[in-house]
Structure 1
């Protein structure tokens, strides 16, 4: 196993100009078990002051809530990922509803549709997603959505529910222009990751980021996944972490024609409003 206790190389220690919100950090992943405190400390040093810990199933949502209770500036989501949609039943629905009532939980999800891998059948995915749409509507919580190769069906389902759900963000957006504008027409939020830093598959996003209003755009690492490919130094183990969010910020700011400071201020304000988060104390 790679030694993740080592600090980041000097070239990868970049501090954001103003506090950032990472709306998608999978800190319950086993790769963070050994050095989670150090990961949080490196995030703080990079001025990534607020983390939304993603709960993709009951186990990880419960862990995310526990961490959010322990770590200042951390919050949790609770949902069932489309890969695990086949497990959805009454017991799981009740467990999710109980988690949604916890003060640390700020969104329903990660939930949605993934017709790329189909680890659960499309019918199972739609059933679980429909149930979680209802939970979001009843709990008046925003949705944290996963969508891959399912833009048309996702748009149809969200159109039906849009008047009932407070807000929704399509996290880790990687789709095409038509899908993006369909989501924007529904007044959805968009989360962008280091996918845009990948010249092999994220090049098309560079032409789309200007289309996203600042009031609808948020940043995320989706760590430990989606390590940016354009980092100025190699990272041992290739595990992504929140401290690297400033590099994603810089890349998106470049393609939007904005300064990193302006983008940081806008995306963090948008995230705090979306998740109803308190304003953090400004760091020097």
Structure 2
């Protein structure tokens, strides 16, 4: 059962989504009231990454990624990589991404996606930053690229795959981000089974707010938000027979370790 004492870290929030426009501070306050003490904001392009960094500069419990999502891969400016490098030097910017491959929607041509992804993987290695990975219908290609670049430092954001894919990411040394997908009785069955193989020292919790509203929440709100992270935690606790405080403590330690927070080695 969820307890009021649990202290959560939401490792995936799209705070500057249009659904949150003008309500960013309210979303953060509601998260705190729900026991979510830290948030990692997701940068899908350099403009959003900059907005995230500005928010984090006045909210010390918040951090951000900076990078280019595969959907935005064909929209980068000529000097995008230099701009990204500069962003990654700023306080509170703790990971490269959201980066990866998306062969489901193909909003950017696949060769362009792979080029932009490879550039970000190389930059992450140069700067000793973890990667914040997106993948949809591109697992084999993405895994091959991660292996080629010898990536062993990052998180599979919003993991929705099966046990074999989970084990492949774990073998690389990656952490696994779990969202409300695990609460979906229709689409989440493979993930629910894979959760059994996920060690407590490799799990991160994410809402991916405002997306992926957990289906276990009734009545259903208009959108997902960090304040609803405890619902995801409750489902994981049920599946893995964990105490909520045990899960919360592990997720905080994992986030601090991966992102090098509070002086911990990354």
| TM-score using structure 2 length | 0.94
CA displacement, residues 42-96 of structure 1 (integer Å, 9 cap, x when unaligned): 1111110110111110110010000000113011110000011112454111111
Pairs within 5 Å for 1:88-107:
88-107=76-95
Question: Could you tell me which of 127, 134, 149 is aligned with 1:161?
Answer: 149
Q: Please list every run of 5 or more consecutive structure 2 residues that lacks an aligned counterpart in the other structure.
A: none
Instruction: Specify the alignment match of 1:258 in structure 2.
Output: 242
Of residues 201, 209, 219, the one that matches 2:187 is 201
Measured after TM superposition, the shift of residue 109 of structure 1 is 0.3
Q: Secondary structure at the match of 1:208?
A: helix
- The equivalent position to 2:219 in structure 1, one of 223, 229, 233, is 233
Aligned residues: 262
Q: Partners in 1 of 2:164 and 2:138 — Cα distance? A: 12
Give the structure 2 partner of residue 120 of structure 1. Answer: 108
The RMSD of aligned alpha carbons is 1.5
Deviation at 1:278, TM superposition (A): 2.3
State whether structure 2 residue 253 is matched by structure 1 residue 269. yes
SS in 1 for 2:107: coil
**TM-score, length-normalised on structure 1?**
0.89
1:179 is aligned to 2:165: yes
The 8 Å contact of residues 56 and 110 in structure 1, kept in 2 or not, is answered as yes
Shift of 1:17: 3.2
Aligned: 1:60 with 2:48:
yes
Classify 1:125/1:43 alpha carbon distance in 2 versus 1 (closer, same or farther; 3 Å). Answer: same
Q: Name 2:176's counterpart in structure 1.
A: 190
Report the 3-state secondary structure (helix = DSSP H, G, I; strand = E; otherwise coil) of the residue aligned with 1:119.
coil
Moved over 2 A (4+): 14-18, 87-90
Counterpart Cα distance in 1 of 2:173 and 2:250: 17
Gaps of 5+ in 1: 1-13, 280-284
For the pair 1:43 / 2:31, whether they are aligned, the reply is yes
Answer whether contact 2:177 2:204 (CA < 8 A) is retained. Answer: yes
Change over 3 Å in CA distance of 1:25–1:15 after alignment to 2 = farther
Question: What's the secondary structure of 1:21's corresponding residue?
Answer: strand
User: In 2 relative to 1, CA 166–179 (structure 1 residues): closer, same or farther, beyond 3 Å?
Assistant: closer
Alpha-carbon distance between aligned partners in 1 of 2:199 and 2:219, rounded to the nearest angstrom: 32
